[in-house]
Amino acid sequence: MLARFRDQVAIVTGGATGIGRAIVERLVDDGATVVVADINEKDGREVAEAIGTEKAVFQRLDVTDKSSADAGVAAILSRFGRLDIHVNNAGIVNRAPFLEYDLDAWCTVLNVNLTGAFICGQASARAMAEAGRGRIINIASVSGQFGGTGRVAYGASKAGIISLTQAMAMELGTYGITVDAIAPGPTQVARLAHGPRQREAFLSRMALKRYALPADIAAAASFLASADAAHITGHVLNVDGGFAAAGVLFDPSEER
């Protein structure tokens, strides 16, 4: 059986750790050559070396710097001659109550998460438009679909990514480019700092009663980048164990 992404080239921003690393590994397993784009040189190089430099290469990239993004795409085209898949995964979290939220923190989160997706998505889309094909996948979050405490900037940035995804899809379809988003729910990554009460609150709304693994998000990214998703664009795919589908949850026996 032929590999799903045979001869294709992908870039994953924030590919050095967590969900980004899982997406890199999945795309490589499915046959793509993947550029691990990250500001974190140590972990990024480690990922590429662990996979093997014939299938994964590290490229330092600052998603908030347009010249860095443009140069990164130019380097990919120079080295590989093509760019088929772009995954906007780079993102940060800074939690604090709304009334105490610092303006600098707000600007940093919006700049990395939302403006970074715009800058990098635009750079890759221009190359894809020239080729007449491409897949762009933006990593959003269920936090961008409804309110949550302590997530004012993060939630706003992820809601912006959902809107950005839809606008990009409408404009880029004519060039043969699909643009979709993945909205993960709670996901088990190293940086996760959920205490017992917060974890219980999340799990109480999840039909599957477990946090996602990075590999669950990576599987969705592989699908959306594949030929199987050729007629899907402007879509937000929740990978959340049923979290966003939950309404009022209670044990009916308690009403007796």
CB 108 within 8 A of CB 94: yes
The question of whether 101 is a catalytic residue gets the answer no
Q: Which of 21, 19, 26 is nearest to 36 (CA)?
A: 21
* Among 101, 154, 175, 211, the one annotated catalytic: 154
Inter-CA distances, 39 with 15, 34, 83, 127, 165, Å: 9, 16, 20, 22, 23
- Positions annotated as catalytic residues are 154
